[in-house]
Amino acid sequence: MDLQNLLVISLGVIFINNFVFARFLGICPYIGVSKQLDSAIGMGAAVTFVLTLASTVTWLIYTYLLSPSPANLFFKLFGGSAPPDLTFLKTIAFILVIAALVQFVEMVIQKTSPALYKSLGIYLPLITTNCAILGAALLNIDQGYTFIESVVHGISAGIGFALALLLMAGIREKLEMAEVPKAMKGIPIAFIMAGLMAIAFLGFSGLKLGN
Amino acid sequence: MSVTSEFTKGLYKQNPVFKQALGLCPTLAVSNSVESALGMGVAVTFVLLCSNSIISLIRKIVPAKIRIPIYIVVIATFVTIVDLSMAGFLPALHKTLGIFVPLIVVNCIILGRAEAYAGKNNIGLSIIDGLGMGIGFTMALLLLGTIREFMGNGSFMGIPVMGPAFEPVLIMILPPGAFLTIGFVLGFFNWLENKRAK
């Protein structure tokens, strides 16, 4: 297996192309849920979980139902002269799959682990409109990742998001004590902090991964 | 509740970006130049107008329990229309905006207006509301885009305005510049509001 390639994708999306700092995906929950460390951990875990699942499922749907490849299931079942090209349905199909997936995950967790549901539950409905999820699904397709690559990309994107969220929550808990000018309190200073952290993460772009 | 106030509330008093902190991802991502900011603003305004009118029209036949998935399908349909038309007629802009064109689906402004306004009001008011919010969003993007392009590239819409001696602040068109700019702009609006309250 091409382990090195997977490692490159994984480290790349955690540090160099971090979803929050370099791609601007998932900013709303990033600013909204980073006030306390506890909720940041819950949100980070929930996003990583759903991102992994969504990357897996959307890749399968795109490859076997939408893309005009010989593997297209409609083509296999119904035949015809050429595989149908349904890629224009990508956006609609993905967002519906993600919405259904989030609902499903919520129900499963609620039934199987009430404790986990208590800590993650309130974040799950928010995740449907988190652009990191749809963004990762679309990026997988744009970059032409294989199945394994997509799954690794999804997990790593979630880890990168959780990392950014945790770092931010740690700083914001301390920031509560700091003397910030009145006008900059709350969201504005959080953005300035995010900007400084993004500058730090920009340093990772000097990393050369792979050949 | 006059028609004018329904329109103008989106421009400043309830500006989606500065006052409600909605739709931040595309705001930050595409505001590195005036041109892409304008393209994104127009695309979002179009989707907002169309989705607001359709949702307002179907608001009485949509069962309350499954309204969100239905709204999302309506929005996704118009986003697909924008995506495909932009790819066909403005391929360069489509490439610059990248995945943020399909990501208009999850722009919280659109679903937010559908849920908070279009699902409760008639089509005329909903169109005005959508237009106001869309223009408010576009203005916010243009403000950030102008600041960032001017400082980071010394130009406006790609036309150099600063002369050859100007040393561009490169960080402003890189991702950190987006965070810093919106932080200071939000702070400025808060300061303005505090001053007015006194």
Tens-place pLDDT, residues A28-49: 788 877 888 888 888 888 889 8
Give A91 to chain B, closest Cα distance, Å. Answer: 6
Q: Quick one: which of B71, B99, B116 has its CA closest to A128? A: B71
Full domain range(s) for residue B7: 3-146
- Confirm whether B160 is domain-assigned: no
Residues from chain B that touch A104, judged by Cβ atoms under 8 A, are none
pLDDT average, residue stretch B47-64 = 93
B28 contact A CB<8A: yes
Residue B62 lies in a domain: yes
- Cβ separation B105–A91 shorter than 8 A: yes
Structure tokens at A65: 């139902």
Q: Kindly state whether residue B194 falls inside one of the protein's structural domains.
A: no
List helix spans (H) across chain A.
3-11, 27-32, 37-61, 73-78, 90-112, 114-120, 124-127, 131-142, 147-175, 187-202
Q: Is B103 on the interface with A (CB under 8 A)?
A: yes
pLDDT of residue B123: 92
Per the structure block, which two tokens stand in for B39? 């393209």
Look at residue A210 and tell me whether its pLDDT is greater than 60: no
pLDDT at A97 exceeding the cut of 70:
yes
Q: Collapse the DSSP code of A90 into the 3-class scheme (helix H, G, I; strand E, B; otherwise coil) and give the result.
A: helix
User: Min CA distance, A94 vs chain B (Å)?
Assistant: 10
Summarize pLDDT for B152-169 with one digit per residue, the tens: 888 888 788 877 778 888
* Amino acid B53: pLDDT: 95
Measured CA to CA, the distance from residue B102 to residue A138 in angstroms comes to 8
User: What pLDDT, on the 0 to 100 scale, is given for residue B26?
Assistant: 86
Put simply, whether B87 touches A (Cβ < 8 Å) is: no
In the predicted model, is pLDDT for residue B41 greater than 60?
yes
Give the pLDDT score at B187. 92
B70 part of a folded domain: yes
Residues of B in contact with A194 (CB under 8 A): 179, 183
A22·B175 Cβ contact <8 A:
yes
Q: For residue B179, give the nearest of A23, A184, A195 by CB distance.
A: A195
Q: Which residues of A touch B77 (CB under 8 A)?
A: 92
What is the number of CB-based contacts under 8 A between chain A and chain B? 117
A87 touches chain B (CB under 8 A): no
| φ/ψ of residue B44, rounded to 5 | -65, -40
Question: What type of residue is A121?
Answer: G
> Is B196 part of a structural domain of the chain?
no
pLDDT digits (tens, 9 = 90+) for B97-146: 988 999 999 888 898 888 888 988 899 999 999 999 999 999 999 999 99
Tens of pLDDT, residues A159-178: 999 999 999 999 988 888 88
B97 reaches A (C-beta below 8 A): no
Whether residue A211 is predicted with pLDDT greater than 70 in this model: the reply is no
- Furthest C-alpha separation in chain A: 70
CB-based contact A129 B108, cutoff 8 Å: yes
State how far the Cα of A112 lies from the Cα of A49, in Å rounded to an integer: 16
Residues in chain B with CB shorter than 8 Å from the CB of A19 are none
Query: B29 vs chain A: nearest CA distance in angstroms?
Result: 6
Residue of A17, A23, A27, A199 to mutate for B, most B C-beta atoms under 10 A:
A27
**Contact between B21 and A199 using a beta-carbon 8 Å cutoff:** no
Sign of CA dihedral B41, B47, B50, B56: negative
What are residue B10's phi and psi, to 5 degrees? -70, -20
| Nearest CA among A11, A27, A16, A41 for reference residue A170 | A41
Model confidence pTM above 0.95: no
Q: Are A168 and A194 in contact (CB under 8 A)?
A: yes
For A131, residues 6+ apart whose C-beta sits below 8 A from its C-beta are A25, A26, A28, B25, B103, B106, B107
Single-letter amino acid, residue A194: A
pLDDT-based confidence at B1, cuts 50/70/90? Answer: low
Segment B2-17 mean pLDDT: 83
Q: Which ipTM value was assigned to this complex?
A: 0.86
pLDDT at position A79: 75
CA distance A20 to A198: 8
Structural domains counted in chain B: 1
pLDDT at res. A149: 92
CB atoms within 10 A of CB B13: 10
8 Å CB contact between A102 and A120: no
Q: Which residues of B84-122 are buried (b: 16+ CB within 10 A; e: fewer)?
A: eebeeeeeebbebbbbbbbbbbbbbbbbbbbeebbbebe
pLDDT of residue A1: 58
How close does chain B come to A185, measured CA to CA in Å? 8
Query: Which of B112, B134, B133 is CA-nearest to residue B68?
Result: B112
Question: Which pair of structure tokens corresponds to residue B159?
Answer: 């036309």
| Nearest residue of A to residue B100, measured between CA atoms | A135
Residue B188 is assigned to a structural domain of this protein:
no
What tokens were used for B178? 């987006």
Q: Tell the burial category of A161 from Cβ atoms under 10 Å away from its Cβ (0-12, 13-18, 19+).
A: buried
Residues 125-164 in B contacting A (C-alpha not used; CB under 8 Å): none
Q: Does the pLDDT of residue A124 top 60, yes or no?
A: yes
How far, in whole angstroms, is CA A168 from its chain's centroid? 17
Q: Taking a C-beta distance cutoff of 8 angstroms, is the pair A188, B190 a contact?
A: yes
